[in-house]
A and B are shown apart, each in its own frame.
Chain A
Amino acid sequence: MNAIERILTPENLKFMLLGAKYSLLIAIFALIGGSVLGLLAAVAKMSKIKPARIIANIYVEVIRGTPMMLQILVLYLCGPVITKALFNFVFTPNPVLVGIIAIAINSGAYSSELFRSAIQSVDKGQWEAAQTIGLSYTQTMKEIIIPQAFKRILPPYINEFIVLIKDSSLLANIGAVELLHSAQVIGAKFYNYLVPLLCATVMYLVVTLFISFCARKLERRLAESD
């Protein structure tokens, strides 16, 4: 009891909440970046151009076949080395920024399958009708296919968001400000990890349970409108 009062001061709680805010921001930006990459990879996978298919497949297989922590470390520790070799440009990596990019790259590989199956689940007749009224491939994708695929993708997509919130905790290892990192910092300061880690657990759960609650509601709403 004493320990809780001692450790969870308003100041430290504020520090934890700041970490939670960063975790959310990291997940949101990674989700956006991952969507762009995932959509590009999905389109490339379905493309008639063979090199595009090959590149997309390599991307997806490499990312899905290796640990995420490895990907984060490669980008964080080797990023400056690579840019120096290629462009003679050295930078000090910002852990949050590098983390967002690494998670986005990872998420894109997983969501590309999601996008691909949702796009392919749209009736072939929609493509044909679009073709007969003169729409191009890009116009058909944008106006006809993606809006219909979007509805199917939404529930699993929200799930992906929850996964990313949890994945963002890996960035504690490279010292990025986020919830788990905040908990560790406080733990080290007070020689007590139990309280800050429990506090972080509650914060993660509140966020993820709230999001999955919304997802289920939305799913039901979408099912009704069909």
Chain B
Amino acid sequence: MIKAVNLCKTFGKIKAVDNVNLEINQGEVICIIGPSGSGKSTLIRCLHGLETPESGELYIDDKKIDFSKNNSKELSKIGFVFQSFNLFPHKTVLENLTLGPIKAFGVSQKDAEETGRKLLARVGLADKENSYPSQLSGGQKQRVAIARALCQNPEAILFDEPTSALDPEMIGEVLNVMKELADEGMTLAVVTHEMGFAKKVATRVIFVDSGKIVEEGTPDQIFENPQSPRLKEFLSQIIHM
């Protein structure tokens, strides 16, 4: 569904993504883990064209993405959820959801609102449609952001540390929504520090260090039987999971 071939992205001298090959297939739940600054965000952002790689190729549904052009049609098949939510503060919750479908895809306002309400109910926020983002808690904001991503009826959703900006007591509600999505068969790729979530929900775990995929496998393989010294060291440091 999403395929990256020899992807490279550097910032000055830093190789944030260093020759990465990655294929995300339908129904997979991929968790990307790794130390801070290892390039996880840059990698997942490259998969949605939020960063333009210097070299390498990106395919969405076997269609090659040409980064010199506008790819909004292909890329909007993929949803994206940010660490800092990035809701539109001057729009209501429902407007945040319906803006994309109405403006980008020409869905009628009535249909968009109907879908929007359904999705808000799905993330447990049916009563918040007329609120503004500033009136919501962090966990609620992130659930709205997930509903917004769902509005474009995506084939997959990418997450960049969706719970890192949240107070601990709100992490659970967001992870639960994500787990439900996974259980319904949605394809997910999640950069996360929540090892418990990775263990329980992931079908595949990818360990990234210094811009490279160092090791990948099932949660069992990665967490119970790590091979590379760097992964072992990383896991020993986050034993408190």
Contact = CB atoms under 8 A, between A and B. Distances in A.
A132 B149 contact: yes
Interface in B68-108: 70, 72-73, 75-76, 78-80, 82, 84, 86-90, 99-100, 103-105
A126 interface: yes
A144 B100 CA distance: 11
Contacts of A136: 70, 72, 104
B49 A131 contact: yes
Between A129, A131, A135, A148, the greatest number of chain B beta carbons within 10 A of the residue's beta carbon is seen for A129
Nearest to B76: A134
A134 B89 contact: no
B48 interface: yes
Chain A interface, >50% SS class: helix
Nearest to A136: B72
A134 B90 contact: no
B71 to A, nearest CB: 10
Contacts of B79: 132
B84 A133 contact: no
Given A139-B104, A143-B99, A133 B76 contact: yes
A132 B89 contact: no
Contacts of A129: 80, 82, 86-88
Interface string B195-221: 000000000000000000000000000
Contact of A133 (B49, B73, B100): B100
A123 B84 CA distance: 11
A133 B90 contact: no
Interface string A97-139: 0000000000000000000000000010110111111111001
How big is the A interface, by class? Answer: 10 to 19
Given A139-B103, A139-B104, A131 B50 contact: yes
Nearest to A225: B134
Interface residues of B, number: 27
A130 B49 CA distance: 13
A143 B104 CA distance: 12
B210 to A, nearest CB: 25
A126 B145 CA distance: 12
A136 B99 CA distance: 12
Contacts of A126: 86, 88
B50 A134 contact: no
Given A125-B86, A143-B99, A148-B90, A132 B80 contact: yes
A147 B149 CA distance: 22
B148 interface: yes
Contact of A134 (B82, B84, B87, B105): B105
A97 to B, nearest CB: 37
Given A126-B88, A132-B149, A134-B72, 12 more contacts: A128-B86, A129-B82, A129-B87, A131-B49, A132-B75, A133-B100, A133-B104, A133-B148, A134-B103, A136-B104, A139-B104, A148-B89
28 contacts: A123-B86, A125-B84, A126-B86, A128-B50, A128-B86, A129-B80, A129-B82, A129-B86, A129-B87, A131-B75, A132-B48, A132-B50, A132-B76, A133-B99, A133-B100, A133-B104, A133-B148, A134-B72, A134-B73, A134-B75, A134-B76, A134-B105, A134-B152, A135-B103, A136-B72, A147-B90, A148-B89, A148-B90
Interface of A: 123, 125-126, 128-136, 139, 143-144, 147-148
Closest 4 CB pairs of A and B: A133-B100, A134-B104, A134-B76, A129-B86
